[in-house]
Structure 1
């Protein structure tokens, strides 16, 4: 894999876009400004030096935050690591992925507002980066869930924000790490929201792989029923009964995580039905969602004829 062109990203003006330093204006919403998002700027998510090192570690780097370097230097280190490890397309895909944008913005925006904010921010960032790359005859595109550096003269697929998402085991690990970090910080509400997100995104992904329109009402149980039906995950009378019992437990994971999220997560206000949970309960919910998502991804891969599932 020839990754030489990615060295062009080691440009201060480009990394200032990637680490969220460059703003492209204010994001306007159609209602009264929300607390903490009334001054929301169109930009890539802001990454501190420690954040940049954490991203590197997600992809196997041993880069340590020592506090005596500028953020652009840590970004250069991240780019170098990505090139040397041949993971730079995946690292960039993560930076442009929705999961990166939801680190600081969760339920403050509605689903449609967040979608609009995300798309405007990504498109603005790509446009700025490509302005810088243009005179060298290159550009950055998002294609097939990878962020690629290509020649301006190449007839490449059209940029598509929806292609950024790459739901695989690495992606699940990234979401899982964030959820577990919230558990350890005793931010259980956010951890439960992220557990549900892990399941929902996985279900939607395997359905879209089959060109199935996912349930759009946010009903995670209905999404799972769609997945079960499409991938024929109903109990097999010829299978070991212990396996069938294990599979039947998957529905309990879905319903429990969904119900705990609805009654206890940061997506809803405090009420009489709000639950009080302990750290080990929150960790159990997150780990159950991770296990479930990993299994569903494997079912999808096996169904598509992949051998490495």
Structure 2
């Protein structure tokens, strides 16, 4: 993590922000026209969250905000603040609060509460000239005057360790019940591997944000096409990659995984999320192997 990013996330280290995250503090939702809050987290519940994020903690008489402080410091140090915020905002944590509502009302209220929580946090950060912004499932602290843009990633090195690490982080999200973040990481893994493969050929990746178009570039550049010289079963297998890439891209595109009201979402179970993550890792590994073989053969 860059030092500037650490300083930015340190701005979250206030009792007012902690009270928003642990459900102590209510805030106004303009969309719902009522006061709302994030799900209340008891001390034992917060200790469980600490344990899930790899912190060895046990419940004692500490104030609840202190547990949130420990968690935030750990996540700043380990570059996991986005994961932490995504966990606190995840739909699965609202199950008790929204029990009995229709799926449409659950989605509407969830989006509105998260939007209100971010606005409430920004009301704390505003006096220092900063705000929390969300891009997909990634959170950043920026100056209120900044207009950051999401760009196509430029990756210097992709290897199996990178793929394994990204997949493991996505699996951790699934264990935490944060399926949105896991799907985002699956899509990001594909996007970064595809962009890396394209750039290895000295070509500019498509800037459309469509992971399917990036995969089409990869297939064209590396001649990954099922043809009549290939065994039919291999052709079917290769053709199946297109459906995998398209499905993951559609499940969690750059608009669909935002936490705004009306965001399009896919209701999935943990095993669906695991399937998406494992499939993305397999496609990424396949493309990595294709690139290495092409470079060994001088193509």
Equivalent position SS for 1:149: strand
> Deviation of residue 98 (structure 1)?
2.4
Equivalent position SS for 2:75: helix
What is the CA–CA distance in structure 2 between the aligned matches of 1:290 and 1:123, rounded to whole Å? 24
Matched, 1:90 2:83: yes
Confirm or deny: 8 A CA contact 1:169 1:294 kept in the other structure: no
Match of 2:223 in 1: none
Match of 2:71 in 1: 78
What is the CA–CA distance in structure 2 between the aligned matches of 1:12 and 1:68, rounded to whole Å? 17
Match of 2:42 in 1: 48
- TM (normalized to structure 1)? 0.52
Aligned CA distance change for structure 1 residues 139 and 202 (closer, same or farther; 3 Å): closer
Structure with larger RCO (C-alpha < 8 A, sep 6+):
2
* Aligned pair partner of 1:124 in 110, 116, 121: 116
Match of 2:107 in 1: 115
What is the CA–CA distance in structure 1 between the aligned matches of 2:129 and 2:41, rounded to whole Å? 29
Alignment size in residue pairs: 201
Aligned CA distance change for structure 1 residues 70 and 177 (closer, same or farther; 3 Å): same
> Deviation of residue 111 (structure 1)?
1.7
Match of 1:20 in 2: 23
Quote the RMSD (CA, aligned, Å). Answer: 4.2
Correspondence 1:237-256 to 2 at 5 A = 237-238=233-234
> Deviation of residue 238 (structure 1)?
4.2
Correspondence 1:1-309 to 2 at 5 A = 1-2=2-3, 3-24=6-27, 42-62=36-56, 64-102=57-95, 104-105=96-97, 108-156=100-148, 169-176=168-175, 210=210, 237-238=233-234, 292-299=275-282, 301-302=284-285
Aligned CA distance change for structure 1 residues 97 and 290 (closer, same or farther; 3 Å): closer
Confirm or deny: 8 A CA contact 1:99 1:175 kept in the other structure: no
What is the CA–CA distance in structure 1 between the aligned matches of 2:289 and 2:134, rounded to whole Å? 24
Equivalent position SS for 2:40: coil
Equivalent position SS for 1:9: coil
Confirm or deny: 8 A CA contact 1:172 1:198 kept in the other structure: no
Aligned CA distance change for structure 1 residues 287 and 132 (closer, same or farther; 3 Å): closer
Aligned CA distance change for structure 1 residues 298 and 97 (closer, same or farther; 3 Å): same
- TM (normalized to structure 2)? 0.54
Equivalent position SS for 1:121: helix
Confirm or deny: 8 A CA contact 2:29 2:116 kept in the other structure: no
Confirm or deny: 8 A CA contact 2:39 2:97 kept in the other structure: no
Query: Deviation string for 1:223-263 (max 9, x for gaps)?
Result: xxxxxxxxx9xx96249xxx9xxxxxxxxxxxxxxxxxxxx
Equivalent position SS for 2:141: strand
> Deviation of residue 156 (structure 1)?
3.0
> Deviation of residue 23 (structure 1)?
2.1
Confirm or deny: 8 A CA contact 1:44 1:122 kept in the other structure: yes
Aligned CA distance change for structure 1 residues 301 and 48 (closer, same or farther; 3 Å): farther
Equivalent position SS for 1:140: strand
Aligned CA distance change for structure 1 residues 154 and 51 (closer, same or farther; 3 Å): same
